[in-house]
């Protein structure tokens, strides 16, 4: 695709918001990471499913990025936000590829499609129940109880009081809201989860566009909810 100044700005905003969300999760388990102009890195291994580095601008220096993370132990990963790094020679392989997505603030609200009741998670007990619903198990303590705040909200869609859908909305330092960790099961479906989460975000942060990234069927659901793919990303996993 052709990268115009507007798309470039959106890609950078999406990458920055995602890095700030990753930093928030990492801080729940240890020291905060470090933000440089072209990348966020953390010298301490991040929790499962979260990267050790996120590039923030095209053309990030691979040597400088790798110098800021722990590549000795298993599980080190890098979110290559602009799909322009080649880390194969450094013992990494591509774990997955996805597309950054953008939904304008002026986009009409998608049809709800279900009668779920949506609200923000409050308190450690409810966060634990949210994580269990998201994880499909009993919860792992991945999300620290101090995470939810004014600008970081765990959204829950409930049926009969049970959490059956949800997502995480993050309002970082940029003029966007990041939406991630979307899930739906039982009485809910993915389209209903997108609709409910977007309606909750619009009520909380009116006038702000929403960004995130998805792949496969989830990308199709995001497009149905009014998102447009704006650029590729890759996640590299250290295997050597």
* DSSP conformation letters of 6-44: HHHHHHHHHHHHHHHHHHHHHHTTSS--EE-SSEEE-SS
d(CA 186, CA 161): 13
Q: Residue 3 — very low, low, confident or very high, per pLDDT cuts 50/70/90?
A: low
Of 153, 165, 160, give the one whose Cα is nearest residue 194: 165
Pick the residue with more confidence: 32 or 158? 158
What pLDDT does residue 118 have?
A: 94
| Helix extents (H) in 176-215 | 190-204
pLDDT > 90 fraction of the chain, expressed in percent and rounded: 78
Per-residue pLDDT for 67 more than 50?
Answer: yes
Q: In the predicted model, is pLDDT for residue 164 greater than 80?
A: yes
CA 107, chain centre distance (Å): 21
Give the residue from 139, 130, 223 showing the smallest Cα distance to 185: 130
pTM score, two decimals? 0.93
How far from chain centre, in Å, is Cα 134? 14
Q: 115-147 pLDDT, tens per residue?
A: 889 999 999 999 999 999 998 877 778 999 989
Give the whole-number percent of the chain exceeding pLDDT 70.
Answer: 96
């Amino acid at each position: 695709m052709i990268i115009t100044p507007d798309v470039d700005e959106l890609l950078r905003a999406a990458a920055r918001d995602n890095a700030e969300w990753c930093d928030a999760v990492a801080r729940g388990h240890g020291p905060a990471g470090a933000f440089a102009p072209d990348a966020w890195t953390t010298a301490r291994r991040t929790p499962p499913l979260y990267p050790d580095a996120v590039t923030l601008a095209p053309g990030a220096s691979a040597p400088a990025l790798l110098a800021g993370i722990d590549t000795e132990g298993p599980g080190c990963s890098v979110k290559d936000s602009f799909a322009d790094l080649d880390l194969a020679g450094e013992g990494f392989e591509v774990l997955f590829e996805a597309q950054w997505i953008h939904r304008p603030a002026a986009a009409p609200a998608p049809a709800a499609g279900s009668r779920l009741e949506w609200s923000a998670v409050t308190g450690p007990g409810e966060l634990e129940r949210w994580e269990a619903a998201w994880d499909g198990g009993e919860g792992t303590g991945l999300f620290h109880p101090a995470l939810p705040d004014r600008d970081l909200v765990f959204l829950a869609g409930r049926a009969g009081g049970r959490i059956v859908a949800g997502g995480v909305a993050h309002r970082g330092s940029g003029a966007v809201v990041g939406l991630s960790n979307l899930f739906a099961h039982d009485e809910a479906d993915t389209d209903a989860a997108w609709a409910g989460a977007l309606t909750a975000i619009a009520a909380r942060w009116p006038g702000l566009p929403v960004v995130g990234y998805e792949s496969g069927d989830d990308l199709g659901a995001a497009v149905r909810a009014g998102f447009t793919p704006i650029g590729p990303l890759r996640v590299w996993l250290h295997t050597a």
